[in-house]
């Protein structure tokens, strides 16, 4: 559910919704959600001073209802 929710939240705010990918990876404690977007959308998903990324984290954490969850926006050019 969290993956779908985050996927939806990100898709809605980018210019290339079809290029959005959210993957869930188990962490030792909790879950990591990795967000990948079209390089042109990276700025949009992160936002001024990380404001948008913070908003995404805030909403996802609220939806996780106490389960530990981390949200990372992956820079596709560099990471992978």
Nearer to another protein, 36 or 60 (CB): 60
- Does residue 4 interact with another protein by CB under 8 A? yes
In the complex, least distance from residue 76 CB atom to another protein, rounded to whole angstroms = 19
Binding segment for another protein (CB under 8 A), chosen from 12-20, 22-30, 31-39, 67-75, is 12-20
- Does residue 42 interact with another protein by CB under 8 A? no
Tally of CB atoms within 10 A around 56: 21
In the complex, least distance from residue 15 CB atom to another protein, rounded to whole angstroms = 7
Q: What angle, 0 to 180 degrees and rounded to 10, lies between the N-to-C axes of helices 51-64 and 2-11?
A: 150
CA dist., res. 42 & res. 68, Å (int): 24
CA Rg value for the chain: 12
């Amino acid at each position: 559910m969290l993956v779908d929710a985050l996927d939806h939240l990100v898709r809605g705010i980018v210019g290339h919704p079809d290029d959005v990918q959210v993957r869930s990876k188990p962490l030792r404690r909790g879950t990591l959600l990795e967000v990948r977007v079209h390089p042109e959308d990276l700025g949009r998903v992160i936002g001024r001073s990380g404001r948008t990324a913070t908003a995404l984290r805030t909403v996802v954490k609220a939806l996780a209802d106490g389960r530990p969850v981390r949200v990372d926006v992956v820079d596709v050019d560099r990471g992978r």
